[in-house]
Amino acid sequence: MNKLNEDIFENTRTTLPLMALRGLVAFPNTVIHFDVQRDKSRVALEKAMKGGQELFLVAQRDLRIEDPEAADLYTVGVIARVRQTLKVAPNVVRILVEGVGRGRLIELRHKKEYSEAEIEMVSLDAISSETERETAEALVRIVKELFDEYVYLSPTMPKELILNVMAAEDPIYLVEYIASNLMLPLADKQALLEEDNPIQRLTMLSGVMEKENRILMIENELNEKVRESMDRNQRDYYLREQMRVISQELGDDVHSELATFNDKLAELAKREVDEVVLKKLSEEIDKLGKLPTGSQEAAVIRQFLDTCFALPFGVYTKDKLNIQATERLLNKEHYGLKKVKERILELLAVRQLAPDIKGQIICLVGPPGVGKTSIAKSIATSMGRNYARLSLGGVKDESDIRGHRKTYVGAMPGRIIGALKQAQSSNPLILLDEVDKLGNDFRGDPASALLEVLDPEQNRAFVDHYVEVPFDLSKVLFITTANSMSSIPAPLLDRMEVIDLSSYTREEKFQIAKRHLVPKQLKQHGLSAKVCRITDTAIYGLIDFYTREAGVRKLERSIASLCRKAAKRIIAGECQTVSIKGKDLEIFLGSRRFRPEKIKSRNEIGVVNGLAWTSVGGELMPIEVNILGGTGKIEMTGSLGQVIKESALIAISYVRSKAVEYGIDPEFYKKCDIHIHAPEGAVPKDGPSAGVTMVTALVSALNNYPVRYNVAMTGEVTLRGRVLPIGGLREKSMAAYRAGVSTVLIPEDNMGDLEDVDDIVKEHVCFVPADRMDTVLKTALLDFPKKSYEVKRGEIEVPVTLPVEKGGLGRIQQ
Yes or no: say if 686 and 648 are a contact pair by the CB < 8 Å rule.
Answer: no
* Residue 785 DSSP code: S
Task: Name 497's bridge partners.
Answer: 362
Task: Indicate the Cα dihedral angle 580, 584, 586, 589, nearest 10°.
Answer: -20
Residue 159 exposed, middle or buried by CB count within 10 Å (0-12, 13-18, 19+): exposed
CA 146 to chain centre: 53
- Read off the amino acid at residue 393: G
Closest CA to 731 of 557, 545, 500: 500
DSSP tally for the chain: helices H, then strands E: 28, 28
For residue 367, cis peptide bond before it (omega within 30 degrees of 0): no
| Catalytic sites, residue numbers | 689, 732
Query: In what helix (H) or strand (E) does residue 57 lie, and over which residues does it extend?
Result: strand 54-59
CA atoms within 13 A on the CB side of 47: 20
Distance, CA of 161 to CA of 158 (rounded, Å): 5
- Largest alpha-carbon pair distance within the chain? 137
Residues across the chain: 814
Yes or no: say if 45 and 83 are a contact pair by the CB < 8 Å rule.
Answer: no
What pairing do the DSSP bridges indicate for beta strands 31-36 and 743-747? unpaired
Distance, CA of 340 to CA of 93 (rounded, Å): 69
Q: Outline where 577-728 has alpha helix (H).
A: 585-589, 642-657, 668-671, 691-703
Rg (CA), the chain: 45
Yes or no: say if 790 and 797 are a contact pair by the CB < 8 Å rule.
Answer: yes
What pairing do the DSSP bridges indicate for beta strands 115-122 and 462-463? unpaired
Say whether 513 sits in a helix, a strand or coil.
Answer: helix
Yes or no: say if 177 and 28 are a contact pair by the CB < 8 Å rule.
Answer: no
Distance, CA of 633 to CA of 37 (rounded, Å): 110
Closest CA to 658 of 516, 800, 538: 800
3-state SS string for 294-363: CCHHHHHHHHHHHHHHCCCCCCCCCCCCCHHHHHHHHHHHCCCCHHHHHHHHHHHHHHHHCCCCCCCCEE
Closest CA to 24 of 53, 71, 60: 60
Between the two ends of the chain, the Cα-to-Cα distance in Å is 97
Task: Name 798's bridge partners.
Answer: 791
CA 438 to chain centre: 25
Closest CA to 453 of 484, 422, 430, 483: 430
Instruction: Show the CA angle centred on residue 322, arms to residues 318 and 323, nearest 5°.
Output: 135
For residue 785, cis peptide bond before it (omega within 30 degrees of 0): yes
Distance, CA of 181 to CA of 172 (rounded, Å): 15
Yes or no: say if 758 and 735 are a contact pair by the CB < 8 Å rule.
Answer: no
Distance, CA of 359 to CA of 378 (rounded, Å): 20
What pairing do the DSSP bridges indicate for beta strands 92-110 and 462-463? unpaired
Task: Name 101's bridge partners.
Answer: 79
Distance, CA of 741 to CA of 765 (rounded, Å): 7
Number of Cβ atoms within 10 Å of the Cβ of 321: 18
